[in-house]
Structure 1
Amino acid sequence: MRPPVKLRAALLAFAAALFSVPSAPARADTFAASPSIVQVVAHADDTFLFFNPDLRKVYDFPLVTVFLTAGAATTEVGPNQAFSSTCLYGQSRDKGARAAAAEIAGVRNPTWTRTPITFAGKVAEEDTLDQAPQVKLVFFKLHDAGDANYVSGVNKQGILEQIYNSGQITGWHQATMGTLAADGGSDCEQQYANQTYTKSQLTASLTALYAHYNATVVYGMDPHRFDSDPGNTDHLGAGGFTLDSVAAYHGPGSGGHVLLRPYRDYNISKEGSTLNGGDSATKNGDFISYLGPDRGDIPGVYHGLYDTSPDPNNSFYTPFYSRQYSRWPNGEVWTALDGTGKLNAFAILNSQVQQWIETTPGGAWTGPTPIPNSSGLTPTLSVIRDPSGMLRVFTTRLSDYSAMTDVETAPGVWSAWKSLGSANPDDPTLQGDPAALTEQNGNVTVFVRNLGTGVSAKTLNPGGSWPSTWADLGGFDVRDDLAAGLGGSGAGELFAPSGQGILHWKQNTARRWAMDSSPLTPAAAGKTQVSFALNKDGRPEIFYADPNNPSVATQWTQGNGTWTRSPGLIGGSPPMLESVAATTAPDGRISIAIRNSGGGVSMASQTAANVGFSGSWPDLGNVIVGAPAIASDSDGRLIVLACELDGALHINRQTAAGTGSPFGGWQLVGH
């Protein structure tokens, strides 16, 4: 069982101090809907390897983990191996999932209640942790892609990705374990056998599952396939089904409060570390809890009781412990002041781009209101104000990875979406999400990563049309997450994390983009999302997670106009899980906000204009999803914005202007 409340609070406080994360203050506002989190994965170990440590932040809330396949690849069974049938192997992996879930929940001697449950006419297994009943596991028990007993193509039976891509009209279907005699016969759990799923049936079952558990946040697997990194076919199928089923679900009571967050999987091992030592060690322990105690039957190799195949110490698995990446991070450029002085915010909730607007400058809010025809777009948004005062939103269309944009015709009134096409017609999957900028002369320019892994750009023509072709700005090995802003002189500045370092472009006197001869840093491994702000004297400064130490790093232009060439770590920075949000207040001081490793929001500010940051990082509390944003309202007050586990937007605004003024506490925005 969990420690007593007082003891547990003391342990949490000690852990927070150990990893420089202050204990979160109590929340003050209300939820739009009671938080309920559902995770949908392909295999029993996916949640512990790819959704962690985020999953550890939500175990005190209702949490349902859905395992679509039994994970029973036949390569794991046979003569002289641990399991005599694929069914027994799948059931053992289920035991591992239960063991790890109980470990994370803090239950030392767990018992589970296991019952059949029906979703849209199909029967799955629901397991409830008796000592922490908010924790549930649901097993669909479908065949794994590696199960040679389940030969895809025979009688149009297929694995997850095949039935997702082929659809119901061709008759493709999946089947549960025990449907085939070769699965193990009497070893299988017959109450779940002899069921088949078409694409529409599996989608309907997942949608019904969300409704049953009143899901407000859904964690899903990566549905994005790169030709250069095709990924795991079960992961891709699970990711695709999660996209479609969430789109068919509209939150508890159809109130629209549901947020989807897909996570990258095997390909994160190619990126830089993002987690601090404490989170990495805990994640390693969670995975070992899933594997189970070492059988000890193979000298020098960890051979788990529940899943005997993975060696948690080999070169394949060890990179996962220090990494967690969202497929489409929401970044921090999702707020903007419109031409009337009202602050706006944008995010994808209920599978559409939603807009919130202050009713009066610095006042209450309305929303969320969906932008028409905004389904099928990624959550990575870039928002700017054009010279007319209207707002523009840029993102990516999932069906073909085209850059997309929409513009207001009046505050809160939108024109039709416009496709800007792809800089990569031969392989659009390699195109990155767009970053946009309104230049000093009023030009609107958008930037994307291109097929050569450099950067391409388009600038809106006079009259409102976009050119058909993209201009190649150069660069190489760019990792996405572009950032753009205006320097104090009015020249545009563009930043692109790459394997070589953070690449930098600046507009010359002719307003053409010129790349520096060398990166700003010697190297920047991984996806280092850059944020941009101006010092009071007009010097640009950038902020990002240092890839060698997941705390906030910064670089800035010096008095002679040149950039510092090595990152400076901001003192006292807690370990962070997302990008840095940055803004300059009217008094000229820069403030930054991060999602800390406790899942809440921490922030810091310059001690005075044009100088360094305080080592104090007050924790504003709450458990949020994705990265926060920070902005100044028309009254000069700082405001921090974040989506929470209720599938809604919440804000925390200063009580008065001035960087040192206190914040008034979190408030629900709209409803």
Structure 2
Amino acid sequence: MRPLLKVRAALLALATAGLGLLPAPARADTFPDPPTVVQVVAHADDTFLFFNPDLRKVYSFPLVTVFLTAGAATTQVGPGEPFADTCLYGESRDMGARAGAAEIAGVANPTWTRTPITFAGKVAEEDTLVQAPQVKLVFFKLHDAGDANFIGGKNSQTTLQDLYQRGQITGWHQSTMGTLAADGGSDCEAQYANQTYTKAQLTASLTALYAHYNATVVYGMDPHRFASDPGNTDHLGAGGFTLDSVAAYHGPGNDGHVLLRPYRDYNVSFEESDLDSADATQKNNDFLAYLGPNRGDIPGVYHGLYDTSPDPNDTFYPPFYSRQYSRWPNGSVWTKVDGTGKLNAFAILNSQIEQWTETAPGGSWTGPTPIPGSSGLTPTLAVTVDPTGLLRVFTTRLSDYAVVTDVQTAPGVWGGWTSLGNPNSSNPTEVGDPAALTEQNGNVTVFVRNLGTGVSAKTLNPGSSWPSAWADLGGFQIRDDLSVGLDGSGAGELFAPSENGILHWKQNAARLWAGDSSPLTPAAIGKTQVSSALNADGRQEIFYADPDNPTVATQWTQSNGSWTTTPGLLGGSPPMLESVAAATGGDGRISIAIRNSGGGVSMVSQTGPNVGFSGTWPDLGNVIVGAPAMALDSDGRLVVLAFELDGALHIDRQTAAGTDSPFGGWQLAGA
């Protein structure tokens, strides 16, 4: 058994000693394309509230922020309000966007060049930060849904969301500020006024923008409406247009290197905090820089010089400072060794599922190669290996949120997609991302969160077809991010983050799934993605982010088969972003890897089989997108896999088998 973990307070002191941003390390591998990040938001404050701190990790690279609307809601416009008309309010928010960008770039006295620029025949404004010219802002200056001067339905004009959802109807359009007399007349900038956008035109303009800047990664807003939050119509419209425009763009020179990463927005306030105190404080300061100094016109109420609407100290905005959630996190289970001994990786790239495969076990890589018919799918994937050694992929389809799967008929040959339907016939969008497992007897089972916030499952028996009905395994208030694994005896285990703690199911002797009578964890840490790995003696161990810090927490099965009920924090764990990748080495020792608060990869290993972890976390470097994955190749070497800002897969592999063997440095996988 492992020695007792150190006192929590001592671990916290170790973990917080190194808080703060880590410098982007020197690179050892190559980029297929020079990285450029483009982020598309609806309003000037969205980037600071929802894409941060990730955006802070990329400011040393070319970064283009696209603001679709002027954000000029009429609540701040008119007699007795801070702005006389909507154009003046929109222009003031633009000033706030420049101030916030300069704050993040570390420029104390910024100057900007402001230039009209044309994308697919439409004119927008491009602003370049002179002291850091890799930082650019692009303003489309469309009307905000909250602008009462822009009356939906009048003369076929419509909001951003309605344009996206019903824009195929002839004549429906959005327009730029200055198009309507009520916008402000002479206060509006004439070179951008009197432009209208249909759905097709706005999609084409964004696609042309990506091509102009050679975008390799696109950050977008969440196009999905949650039942618990009606959402912001401009956010939803911006997310939808980003989804479609990225699908029409195929990377620099059409080489396929473009990675889309949508972020959740207001609904993250219902989740646990997932940022450390340093990132949260910095994020708050970035937002204050955007708002501008307090005008001081109303005692006790913060009125920013640039944007007077948000009060950064009320109950609405502070939850965003300590939270950042991807809409579809890539998780840590997107790699598998197939029946030929080759390691494979999968991801949504170029708006379709791409596959990378070793040319020989432990060798170089080929790819990315698209899986036929895989466009229009969500980026969270589950990958299993069938009993024959062939690979199977699960995800959900954006058009109807049906769970879909494809399986190889031979190595590298895919048989075609099968829809498994959706357990939520009345509200399919509430289905969760799938988790899948090949059981010891060869059955393949897929699990999803259902409308009742429990877990539904379907099982494919060898030689049969998928059943039509979903089985209900129970559970309540499950958020998503299900994960599965096999224990040392071959029994399946399922972990489900929930409002009440991490719920756990295990297969019994009859291979039926039975849930524990109580959660593994306290409710306070139940809403976090779980990863698992086996100890050398076959005991299962789970890893997740403790939201109080957030550092890596762990629990494990004991020698009597019961789970520990008190989470232990791993000593020296740096603040982390997203999920933990875990793998067991050939010597039986577990290693884990995380995306640290500097945007790079940190990892740690057990000091010996079946015991605790080292307090030293080597930083493998790089700035990555999403969470890393970790696998053991056929030569017994650990491999860390991650996507970088060039929109390509990169790997770092040990030079020899054995947990203590060094890593050889990051390399581009495939082309």
**TM-score per shorter chain, which class?**
over 0.9
Determine the structure 1 residue equivalent to 2:332: 332
2:102, 2:226 → 1: CA distance? 35
Aligned partner letter, 2:478 = V
Q: Which moved more, 1:225-234 or 1:286-295?
A: 225-234
- Summarize the alignment of residues 507-656 of structure 1 with structure 2, pairs less than 5 Å apart: 507-525=507-525, 527-656=527-656
Matching residue of 2:209: 209
1:117 counterpart = 2:117: yes
Match of 1:155 in 2: 155
- Note the C-alpha offset of 1:20: 7.4
Q: Secondary structure at the match of 1:384?
A: strand
Rounded Cα–Cα distance in structure 2 between residues aligned with 1:548 and 1:566: 14
Q: How far has the Cα of 1:549 moved from its partner?
A: 1.7
Tell me how far apart the structure 2 counterparts of residues 24 and 551 of structure 1 sit (CA, whole Å).
21
Q: Secondary structure of the equivalent of 2:599?
A: coil
Question: Residue type matched to 2:179 in 1?
Answer: T
2:374 aligned with 1:359: no
TM-score (ref. length: structure 1): 0.97
Determine if contact 2:502/2:527 at 8 Å carries over to the other structure. no
Q: Which residue of 2 aligns with 1:11?
A: none
Matches of 1:156 and 1:423, distance apart in 2: 38
Say which is worse superposed, 459-468 or 30-39, in terms of deviation.
Answer: 459-468
Q: Distance in 2 between matches of 1:94 and 1:336?
A: 47
Q: Distance in 2 between matches of 1:501 and 1:326?
A: 21
Pairwise CA distance, 1:259: 0.2
In 2, Cα distance between equivalents of 1:656 and 1:159: 58
Contact residue 580 and residue 593 of structure 1 kept, 8 A: yes
Asked if the contact 1:20–1:572 (Cα under 8 Å) also holds between the matched residues in 2, the reply is no
Which letter maps to 2:244?
D
Q: CA deviation at 1:522?
A: 1.7
Output the CA distance in 2 between the equivalents of 1:24 and 1:197: 39
Name the residue aligned to 1:501: 501
Retained in 1: the 8 A contact 2:638–2:654? yes
Given that 2:18 and 2:574 are in contact with CA atoms closer than 8 Å, whether structure 1 keeps it comes out as no
- State the match for 1:396 in structure 2: 396
Identity percentage of aligned residues: 81
Contact 2:277-2:549 within 8 A present in 1 as well: no
SS in 2 for 1:168: coil
Given that 2:100 and 2:287 are in contact with CA atoms closer than 8 Å, whether structure 1 keeps it comes out as yes
CA distance in 2, matches of 1:551, 1:429: 31
Alignment match, 1:77: 77
| Distance in 1 between residues matched to 2:587 and 2:82, nearest whole Å | 67
After the TM superposition, which of the residue ranges 551-560 and 517-526 deviates more from structure 2? 517-526
Matched residue of 1:72: which SS?
coil
The residue number in structure 1 matching 2:289 is: 289
Q: Residues of 2 paired with 1:17 and 1:242: CA distance?
A: 39
- The Cα of 1:489 is off from its aligned counterpart by 1.2
After superposition, the C-alpha distances for 1:142-178 in whole angstroms (9 at most, x for unaligned) are 0000000000011211010001000233321000001
Which residue number corresponds to residue 373 of structure 1?
373
- 1:98 alignment partner, SS class: helix
Q: 1:21 to 1:487 in 2, by over 3 A?
A: farther
CA distance in 2, matches of 1:526, 1:379: 23
Matching residue's letter, 2:408: E
Q: CA RMSD in A?
A: 1.2
CA distance in 1, matches of 2:660, 2:53: 32
Deviation at 1:465, TM superposition (A): 1.1
User: How many Å apart are 1:412 and its aligned residue?
Assistant: 1.2
Question: In the alignment, is the contact (CA less than 8 A) between 2:276 and 2:322 conserved in 1?
Answer: yes
Q: Which runs of 5+ in 1 are unaligned?
A: 1-14
Give the count of matched residue pairs: 657
Tell me if the contact between 1:526 and 1:547 (Cα under 8 Å) persists in the aligned partners: no
How far apart in 2 are the matches of 1:554 and 1:633?
Answer: 25
Q: Separation in 2 of the partners of 1:355 and 1:470? A: 29
Secondary structure at the aligned position of 1:182 is classed as: helix
- Report the AA paired with residue 184 of structure 1: G
Asked whether the 8 Å contact 1:38–1:64 carries over to 2, the reply is: yes
> Residue 197 of structure 2 aligns with which residue?
197
Deviations along 1:158-213, one digit per CA (max 9) or x if unpaired, are 01000100023332100000100011111111110000000000000000000000
Please tell me whether the aligned partners of residues 16 and 22 of structure 1 are also in contact (alpha carbons under 8 angstroms). Answer: no
Q: TM-score, normalised by structure 2?
A: 0.97
Instruction: Measure how far apart 1:17 and its partner are.
Output: 5.9
Where 2:169 maps in the other structure, the secondary structure is helix
Residue 59 of structure 1 aligns to which amino acid in structure 2? Y
Cα distance in structure 2, aligned partners of 1:23 and 1:562: 42
Question: Which residue is 1:254 aligned to?
Answer: 254
Measure, in 1, the Cα distance between the counterparts of 2:567 and 2:20.
20
On the 8 A contact 2:20/2:597 being kept in 1, the answer is no
Opposite residue 397 of structure 1, the aligned amino acid is: R
Q: 1:540: how far off? A: 0.2
1:21 is displaced (CA, Å) by 7.1
Matched, 1:438 2:438: yes
SS at match of 1:170: coil
Matched ranges for 1:70-109 at <5 A: 70-109=70-109
Q: Please report how far the alpha carbon of residue 526 of structure 1 lies from its aligned counterpart in structure 2 after TM superposition.
A: 6.5
Q: Which residue of 1 aligns with 2:48?
A: 48
The whole-number CA distance in structure 2 between the counterparts of 1:205 and 1:195 is 13
Cα distance change on mapping 1:21 and 1:101 into 2, 3 Å: closer
Q: Could you say which residue in structure 1 is the equivalent of 2:127? A: 127
- Counterpart of 1:271 in structure 2: which amino acid? E
Residue segments in structure 2 that go unaligned for 5+ positions in a row: 1-14
Deviation at 1:25, TM superposition (A): 4.1
Alpha-carbon separation, structure 2, partners of 1:571 and 1:397: 40
- Aligned match of 2:349: 349
Correspondence 1:226 to 2:230 = no
Q: Please say if residues 24 and 619 of structure 1, whose CA atoms lie closer than 8 Å, have aligned partners that are also in contact.
A: no
Deviations 1:269-313 (A, max 9, x none): 010000000000000000000000000111011110000111101
The one-letter amino acid paired with 1:584 is T
CA 1:553–1:225 in structure 2 vs 1: closer, same or farther (change >3 Å)? same
From the superposition, tell whether residues 271 and 16 of structure 1 become closer, same or farther in structure 2 (CA, over 3 Å): closer
Question: What pairs with 1:158-177 in structure 2 (closer than 5 Å)?
Answer: 158-177=158-177
Q: Distance in 1 between matches of 2:366 and 2:122?
A: 40
AA partner of residue 104 (structure 1): I
Q: Aligned residue for 2:4?
A: none
For 2:575, what is the secondary structure of its paired residue? coil
C-alpha separation between the residues in 1 aligned to 2:20 and 2:351?
36
Structure 1 residues 84-93 or 163-172, which shifts more? 163-172
TM superposition shift of 1:625: 0.1
C-alpha spacing 1:639/1:392, structure 2 compared with 1 (3 Å) = same
The one-character-per-residue Cα deviations of 1:47-84 (angstroms, maximum 9, x if unpaired) are 00000000000000000000000000111111111100
SS at match of 1:419: strand
Letter in 1 for 2:628: P
Secondary structure in structure 2 of the residue aligned to 1:580: strand
Separation of aligned partners in 1, 2:85 and 2:21: 47
User: What secondary structure, in the 3-state scheme, does the structure 1 residue paired with 2:374 have?
Assistant: coil
Q: 1:9: which partner in 2?
A: none
Report the CA distance between 1:506 and its aligned residue.
Answer: 0.5
Alpha-carbon distance, 1:445 to partner: 0.2
Q: Distance in 1 between matches of 2:507 and 2:399?
A: 33
* CA distance 1:16–1:259, shift in 2 (3 Å): farther
Inter-partner Cα distance in structure 1 for 2:653 and 2:463: 38
* Whole-Å separation in 2 of the counterparts to 1:403 and 1:595: 28
Higher mean C-alpha displacement, 19-28 vs 249-258: 19-28
Contact in 2 for aligned 1:96/1:292 (Cα 8 Å): yes
Name the counterpart of 2:5.
none
Q: 1:59 to 1:454 in 2, by over 3 A?
A: same
Name the structure 2 match of 1:409: 409
Given that 1:531 and 1:543 are in contact with CA atoms closer than 8 Å, whether structure 2 keeps it comes out as yes
Structure-2 change in CA distance of 1:526 and 1:258 (3 Å):
farther
Superposed CA deviations along residues 518-547 of structure 1, whole A, max 9, x for unmatched, are: 000121456400001000000000000012
For residues 36 and 464 of structure 2, what CA distance do their matches in structure 1 show? 44
Q: 1:577-609 CA deviation, whole Å, 9 max, x = no partner? A: 110000101110000000000000000000000
